[in-house]
Homo-oligomer: A and B are copies of this chain.
């Protein structure tokens, strides 16, 4: 098996696990896909393109992500919902000693308590992955959303 094939295969598995954690409601497993000092950031296409550092969500360690999940489970008030992700256009954009750069597209459909499902958000993932002892993990996932008119409160990570 070629080295590059194997890497794409393992990226596919990491992304499948990421989507499954969020879509199946296994939020506690989601921070484990990041390294200890990992970064999760969600920012609009416009702010990202202009270099404006104003994200909608910013979690810069696994601890903060676990806090976020704890708040979602225990403190925050929001309408229950379910996401379903669709991922495409996965490509390795950079590879150096530190990390593997990967970009991809997402479409997220959301079902609300009234039982209707609609497209909730679409955008890009710009990732930096680390290939460590436990396999591939996110060093950084920047979620750049195209959809600026968000239909309901954004509570759960995309």
Contacts and interface: CB of A to CB of B under 8 A. Distances in A.
A105 B89 contact: no
Number of copies: 3
Given A9-B5, A115-B147, A23 B84 contact: no
A76 interface: no
A148 B109 CA distance: 14
Interface string A2-22: 100110110011001101100
B24 A103 contact: yes
Nearest to A23: B105
A91 interface: yes
A84 B107 contact: yes
A50 interface: no
Contacts of A122: 82, 84, 109, 111, 117
Interface string A88-117: 111100000000000111110101001111
Contact of A89 (B85, B91, B118): B85
Given A8-B9, A8-B12, A20-B89, 14 more contacts: A5-B9, A13-B91, A16-B91, A23-B124, A24-B124, A84-B146, A85-B89, A86-B87, A86-B88, A107-B107, A109-B122, A117-B119, A117-B122, A117-B147
Interface of A: 1-2, 5-6, 8-9, 12-13, 16-17, 19-20, 23-24, 45, 82, 84-91, 103-107, 109, 111, 114-124, 146-149
